[in-house]
Amino acid sequence: MPWRRLPPLHAVRAFEAAARHLSVTRAAEELAVTPGAVSRHLRGLEAILGHALFLRRPSGLVLTAPGAALAEACRAALDSIADAAAGVRLVPSRRLSVGAYGLFAARFLLPRWAALRAAHPQLEVELHTSANPLDLVPARHDAVIAVTDGAPRAGLITHRLLPIATVPVAAPAWLADGPVDFATVPKLHARPRPDDWRRWLDHAGFGAVPALSGSSFESIGLALEAAAAGLGVVIAIDALLGPDLARGAVVRAHPLVRPTRRWFVLQYELRHEADPALAAFAEWLCAACAVQPVAIGSAGSGAHSDSEAS
């Protein structure tokens, strides 16, 4: 489509209002600007077009022939824009199916759900949570919040949301008498992430400390609840600790946070890139994660990775 050489649209709007009312004052009242501002827009538009659009008489404005032709065209164009905008507002957003890693949904997404509804009251989202990576493939939903290395995948749009880094946490009572002794403290384990303790202990320089003993739980969320109840110390994902730290349920048992190569990501198929409902959800979610909604392109290849963060 060729580039349109348009006059300034604020001047067009001022001209259309003045032509309709045949009054600078009444146009200014409608547009909530000063009469001087409307007059400047009119003079500027006349200078751009090289024609007088009004005859200015003591009784008011009178359209010239070029002014009358332009007024009719501007009125029709602005009416069309107004009708189109009204139509867009009346079209309901389609219902989105979003698959989400359960821990992310519980610790990050659900506490912000009211904010999503307030920001996009017309957006309808069906949320489907799972800890099984096979449930979180974009082909099964409009979009998924999963765990990957954040790298491009063929045919997919990927937004990195939150990095996965791990840190030990415990109920505050475990630190009441000083630093935690990781050689003796009960270690709590989440079965979906069996290597978390070994990796963190090695990273922190506690390589000689045994990692395997202690209670185990079917999910990270349940293991975190056990830690809050005082059963011991658990390795948690730092980016998802906000609600627990804010209410004082747990505290960091050591200042060292171990980074990983993994991310929570929002992924969807390239064919959905222009979907306005999905675009609205992606923009909101990226803002909630305080990251720019810049998609990682679909170049490259590789299978969708599992939910275990290494």
Residue 15's CATH number:
1.10.10.10
3: confidence class by pLDDT, cuts 50, 70, 90: low
Q: What's residue 248's pLDDT?
A: 94
| Predicted pLDDT of residue 128 | 95
**Domain identity same for 107 and 32:** no
* Region label for 70, one of left (φ > 0), alpha (ψ between -120 and 50) or beta (otherwise): alpha
Same domain, 86 and 105: no
Q: How many angstroms separate the CA atoms of 53 and 14, rounded?
A: 12
Residue 60 pLDDT class (50, 70, 90 cuts): confident
- Considering the domain architecture, whether residues 228 and 114 belong to the same structural domain is answered as yes
Q: Do both 21 and 100 map to the same domain? A: no
Among 56, 75, 90, give the residue marking a domain's end. 90
Distance CA 25, CA 33 (A): 9
Same domain, 174 and 64: no
Query: DSSP letters of 70-111?
Result: HHHHHHHHHHHHHHHHHHHHHSPPPEEEEEEEHHHIIIIIGG
Q: Token pair for residue 236? A: 């948690």
pLDDT tens-digit series, residues 19-54: 999 999 999 999 999 999 999 999 999 999 999 999
At residue 47, what is the residue type? Answer: A
Q: Which two tokens stand for residue 293?
A: 């909604």
The encoded tokens of residue 232 equal 């011991």
CATH number assigned to the domain comprising residue 238: 3.40.190.290
Range of the domain at 141: 93-310
Domain assignment present for residue 127? The answer is yes
* Residue 227: per-residue pLDDT: 96
Residue 92 has a pLDDT of 53
Domain count, the chain: 2
Closest CA to 270 of 129, 162, 152: 152
Residue 309: inside a domain: yes
> pLDDT, tens digit, for every residue of 93-131?
578 999 999 999 999 999 999 999 999 999 999 999 998
Flag whether 3 is in a domain.
Answer: no
- Give the phi and the psi of residue 247 in degrees, each rounded to 5: -90, 5
Angle between helix 9-21 and helix 24-31 axes, rounded to 10 deg: 130
56 domain residue, yes or no: yes
Q: Are residues 86 and 172 in the same domain?
A: no
pLDDT in tens, 157-192: 999 999 999 999 999 999 999 999 999 999 999 998
End of a domain among 90, 117, 133? 90
Asked if residue 1 is part of any domain, the answer here is no
The rounded distance, in Å, linking the Cα atoms of 20 and 63 is 10
Instruction: Give tens-digit pLDDT for 237-275.
Output: 999 998 899 999 999 999 999 999 999 999 999 999 889
